[in-house]
Amino acid sequence: MYNELKADIENQFDQASFDEETAKYLIIEIAPDQYLALMENLRNKGFDYLFSMTGMDWGKELGVTNHLENTQTGQMLMVKVKLADRDNPELPTIEKIWKTAHLHEREIYDLFGINFKGHSVMKRLLLSEDWEGYPMRKDWHDETKMIIR
């Protein structure tokens, strides 16, 4: 089902790798410097619905997973991007490609500290502006808010 799409992406993006988690959708892992171009390419191929965008902390790397659907064909896929720089994690925004990315990116910034370069309103969404740290990171600790039993 995804052979033609995989071949096309492999020809255009030398740092893309693939995994088929289920027969339902394809997983594409892409390098940060090819992320924006891949996302634009996928939109042009009919993936018109960004239905999930999630910040991730894999321990050594931070990153983002995006779930896309082509609503005409029903094809779904995941795009995964990992960032090695935990001190200054940054990706280009995709809010100009899918409007739903606007709030997703703000939430990811707020909870994981990943900055989306070029975002129209890159500031905290859920937490107050004076909040320190990023509470969804595995290395985040705040003794004042911990429950000790």
Contacts of residue 43, defined as CB under 8 A and 6 or more positions apart, other chains included, come to 97, 98
**pTM of structure:** 0.91
User: Would you give the DSSP letter of residue 50?
Assistant: E
Radius of gyration, CA atoms only, the chain: 16
How far, in Å, CA of 112 to CA of 105, rounded?
A: 10
We report the CATH number of the domain holding residue 96 as 3.30.460.80
> Tens digit of pLDDT per residue, the chain (149 long)?
688 999 999 999 999 999 866 657 899 999 999 999 999 999 999 999 999 999 999 999 999 999 999 999 999 999 999 999 999 999 999 999 999 999 999 999 999 999 999 999 999 999 999 988 999 999 887 766 665 55
Host domain of residue 66: 3-145
Do strands 49-57 and 62-69 pair parallel, antiparallel, or not at all (unpaired)? antiparallel
Domains: count for the chain = 1
- Predicted confidence at residue 8, as pLDDT, reads 94
